[in-house]
Structure 1
Amino acid sequence: MLDRWLLIGSTGRVGRMLARHWDECPPEQAELVRQSRGDPAEVRWDPLLSSFPQEHGAFSCFIVLAGIVPGTGSDLRLNRDLAEAILRAAHDTGVSRVLLSSSSAVYGAPPGRHAFRETDPLEPRNAYGEAKCDMETVCAPWRARGLEICCLRIGNVCGADMLLTNSSRMETGESLHIDRFDDGAGPERSYIGPATLARVLETLAHHPAPLPETLNVAAPDPVTMAALASLADIPWAWKPAPIGAYQNITLDCERLAEFYPFSVSDSDPAEMIRQWLRLRDTK
């Protein structure tokens, strides 16, 4: 018997890339159905405005990529309300697992080169991180009612990150500027390719035993912004890092590796760029 998964949030930057991947490579042993606010061929549902439509049958897992992100003009605090509505629908319809996208922004910035672990305190440094922290607190009452919820603290998804989205807005002849720190190197971050992320989500949705309440989600090894820009053929130049800039913001993904068998190529920035080029918007 196939699992049935509902993908909630396939129209954002990450969701569009993952939806294209799953169009080309459907998950094995699962039927993936998409939520939409307008397409009649999909599950038509706006969690903030209406109750879940019951006529679409049972789902074993909600994969939640929907969320309010910076720069859209929307109230980031709606992330809490959105999660509350989705978790209520999952509980009321008998969904057994929810993979809820959070963000590495919940951690804030580390001292030195410390890679954040799921057990580290949450000290967000911006409104988005605060909103995602607030969103995660919504989960506790629903867990107490028996709903399994795994909050995915996702790092940078290649193609949906600020580096590559900013480069798409550059004028001809313009160069991207990357901070250079006292050691001569630039920023290092935890990234994951969109196709790798899709495979991680499939593995977590299929996992037969309960998942942890939180998981960091990124490739095991961090990458440099300079490497990604060069591999993407983006013109770039160094600029002195401003006071207060953080060189290393990375995630410890050892816990995730207990569930997903990462390959060496998953941490290769060239492979991340290849995945982005295959799955990016072409319009």
Structure 2
Amino acid sequence: MRVVVLGGGGRLGKLLAPVFPRPATWLTRQDIDIRNSDALRKALTGTQAVFCMAGVTPGGNAPMEANIDLARRTLDAAQDVDAGHVFLFSSAAVYGRVSGALSEDGPTAPQAPYGVAKLAMEQMAADHEHPNTVLRLGNVAGADAILGGWKPGFALDVLPDGTTPRRSYIGPACLGRVLSQLCMASDLPPLMNVAAPGTVEMGELLDAAHRRWQPKVAGEGTIGQVALDTRVLERFITFDTSDSTAQGIVADWRKTTGEQ
């Protein structure tokens, strides 16, 4: 099975490539310019699965709308060469401040340009003729602002009830396994939340990793919980209990990155 990953040089790609459990071609922006249609069609010829991790994230200079363009170009090229299923990466950011269990068929309310652009990308993909699945990705340990962004003196929001914000998380090796298994799945839906089941407190992750942090009072804009409903994903993937615990996620992150 030939698998191609576009955007392999990004933070997520660098984290996943060493632990991805099947052979794959990881292409960075130095390897291919997705805006070059001829080069992209050549790269996708003969593929059975394509993961497009290429995109624009907050903090850069590129417009967020580039996420729509890169996804569209990938789908167009895949259709031109009759490539296999395309997986596009969206984000839990499309849910914004929606409360409760966040399901694929429930409401969305992105709060920032990044989430708005990702939601527009999803809508474009839903209208495209080439087979594709959009993955609404939760926090990935090591590519996140908590474990991946920790520095001495790190301050973390504490909510009025004394807890820290809860998020849907997944370890990098666990995510690699999930993506690898999705390559082989049939009858995939057009949209799927991707995270380990349940949520974990950010403070618990830092404690499990023995990373000291300072509490700060959560501001009005702090979202207390982002809980992805993973029942659709669990029709295709079986998780271990440890995949959802702070200790298990940290162990996965350490094994993947060599962090101590």
The two structures share one fold, judged by TM-score above 0.5? yes
> 2:8 maps to what in 1?
10
Q: Which aligned pairs between 1:238-253 and structure 2 lie closer than 5 A? A: 238-253=215-230
Distance in 2 of aligned mates of 1:119 and 1:64: 23
Structure 2: runs of 5+ lacking an equivalent:
none
> 1:273 maps to what in 2?
250
> 1:47 maps to what in 2?
34
Amino acid at match of 2:138: G
Out of 123, 134, 138, which is 1:151 matched to? 134
Distance in 2 of aligned mates of 1:104 and 1:128: 11
Identical aligned pairs, as a percentage? 35
Residues 147-168 of structure 1 show CA distances to partners (whole Å, capped at 9, x for unaligned) of 211000000000111112331x
Q: How many residues align?
A: 258
Q: Say whether 1:130 aligns with 2:108.
A: no
Q: Say whether 1:108 aligns with 2:86.
A: no
Amino acid at match of 1:20: P
Runs of 4+ in 1 over 6 A off after TM superposition: none
Q: Could you tell me how far 1:55 is from its partner in structure 2?
A: 7.1
Q: Could you tell me how far 1:273 is from its partner in structure 2?
A: 1.4
Distance in 1 of aligned mates of 2:169 and 2:11: 15
Q: Superposition RMSD on alpha carbons, in Å? A: 1.7
CA contact (8 A) 2:41 2:77 kept: no
Residues 109-150 of structure 1 show CA distances to partners (whole Å, capped at 9, x for unaligned) of 123xx020001122101111001011112213323xxx2110
Q: Say whether 1:163 aligns with 2:161.
A: no
> 2:171 maps to what in 1?
193
Out of 57, 62, 69, which is 2:50 matched to? 62
Distance in 1 of aligned mates of 2:218 and 2:226: 15
> 2:29 maps to what in 1?
37
Residues 219-274 of structure 1 show CA distances to partners (whole Å, capped at 9, x for unaligned) of 00210001111122211122111123221111010110010011111112222112
Q: Could you tell me how far 1:96 is from its partner in structure 2?
A: 2.5
- The secondary structure found in structure 2 opposite 1:150 is strand
Distance in 1 of aligned mates of 2:134 and 2:24: 20
- The secondary structure found in structure 1 opposite 2:122 is helix
CA contact (8 A) 2:44 2:77 kept: no
> 1:99 maps to what in 2?
87
Distance in 1 of aligned mates of 2:177 and 2:188: 16
TM-score with structure 2 setting the length: 0.93
> 1:41 maps to what in 2?
none
CA contact (8 A) 1:175 1:234 kept: no
Distance in 1 of aligned mates of 2:117 and 2:44: 31
Distance in 1 of aligned mates of 2:175 and 2:93: 18
- The secondary structure found in structure 1 opposite 2:2 is strand
Residues 19-43 of structure 1 show CA distances to partners (whole Å, capped at 9, x for unaligned) of 0113xxx42xxx41222333xxxxx
Q: Could you tell me how far 1:53 is from its partner in structure 2?
A: 4.7
Q: Say whether 1:215 aligns with 2:173.
A: no
Q: Say whether 1:74 aligns with 2:66.
A: no
> 1:119 maps to what in 2?
105
CA contact (8 A) 2:158 2:216 kept: yes
Out of 203, 209, 231, which is 1:254 matched to? 231
Q: Could you tell me how far 1:50 is from its partner in structure 2?
A: 4.0
CA contact (8 A) 2:52 2:86 kept: yes
Structure 1: runs of 5+ lacking an equivalent:
39-43
Larger Rg, first or second structure (1 or 2): 1
> 1:182 maps to what in 2?
160
TM-score with structure 1 setting the length: 0.86
CA contact (8 A) 2:98 2:107 kept: no
Residues 69-101 of structure 1 show CA distances to partners (whole Å, capped at 9, x for unaligned) of 111222111001100110111111111211111
Distance in 2 of aligned mates of 1:55 and 1:280: 29
**Residues 261 and 53 (structure 1), Cα distance of their counterparts in 2 relative to 1, 3 Å cut:** same
Distance in 1 of aligned mates of 2:59 and 2:254: 23
Q: Say whether 1:204 aligns with 2:204.
A: no
